[in-house]
Amino acid sequence: MIYLDYSANTPVDPAVLEAFCKAEQTYIGNPNSTHCAGLTACEEMARVTDHIAGLLGVEPAGIIYTSGASESNNLAIKGIAQASRSTGRHMISTVLEHASVGGTLTALQQQGWEVDLLDIQRDGTIDLEQLGDLLRKDTILVSVCAVDSELGTVQPIRQITEILKDFPNCRLHVDATQAIGKTELVMDGVDTMSIAPHKFYGLNGSGLLLKKSSVIIEPQIHGGSSTTLYRSGTPALALAVSIEKALQLTLTQQEERIRCVRQLNEYLKTALLHYPSVRINSPEGAVPHILN
């Protein structure tokens, strides 16, 4: 079988799996425990978090470890909505979002929140003019994916952040699941961002939610502070180590990997266009990792 579904799941990098296994066997203590084994694990957890923060250009306190992008999207959207319910109940998103975003918005609609969906232009990008028209004083959230998983379209996150500057009560959530290692990661003006390591040779069952320190969200899992007040549970140190390794490899090898995938994309596209019934839907400027 020729496996072409890397946008859904990638095989784990052997170096990532090795880092996970080594950490799992080395650090046996709970990082929240106060005995020697716990303190040693806590120190390693802090080192890993600091390194991940440095790789992504964020504050360590803004890193929330999750079980994956679906949990991250739920935590960000529900957390912002619930923390902002006294300010407003209006949210804006798109039809391009992953089911973990669309399903979360539907659940909030059933609880009384109002959701508007933006139109999509021919190249797959959102209609920025319409975004400006839909924004209201009671709009508390705009949720847009950084890269569309169907067409590979890169959304204009910088332009969105500029528009939102006139709406200080509105937060911007970006699902960056398909963006890491494939295109430039825009962080400025983004309030929360979801990341899934299994999309870039990391382990399934691990994820990140990046959050600005000024942004308040309501936790969805209660019962202790863990590594953050916003998500309870025993810190999964070995998974954090695997995320660190996967991110480091992806970001340091990004240009080389993009060059390789672009060559494969052009080869496949050229071959497919020999068939009259085939139409290429992915626009110019899409990430080369996705060909529709």
- What is the CATH classification number for the domain harbouring 90? 3.40.640.10
Are the C-beta atoms of 292 and 150 separated by less than 8 Å?
Answer: yes
Total domains in the chain come to 1
272 within some domain: no
Q: Which of 221, 210, 218 is nearest to 179 (CA)?
A: 210
Task: Output the pLDDT for position 214.
Answer: 92
Residue ranges in the chain modelled with pLDDT below 70 = none
Task: Dump pLDDT digits (tens) for 185-233.
Answer: 999 999 999 999 999 999 999 999 999 999 999 999 998 778 898 999 9
199 within some domain: yes
53 within some domain: no
Q: Give the domain extent around 201.
A: 62-236
Helix/strand/coil for 228: coil
43 within some domain: no
3 within some domain: no
287 within some domain: no
Task: Dump pLDDT digits (tens) for 102-114.
Answer: 999 999 999 999 9
55 within some domain: no
257 within some domain: no
CA distance 283 to 279: 11
CA distance 210 to 241: 17
First CA to last CA across the chain, in angstroms?
Answer: 20
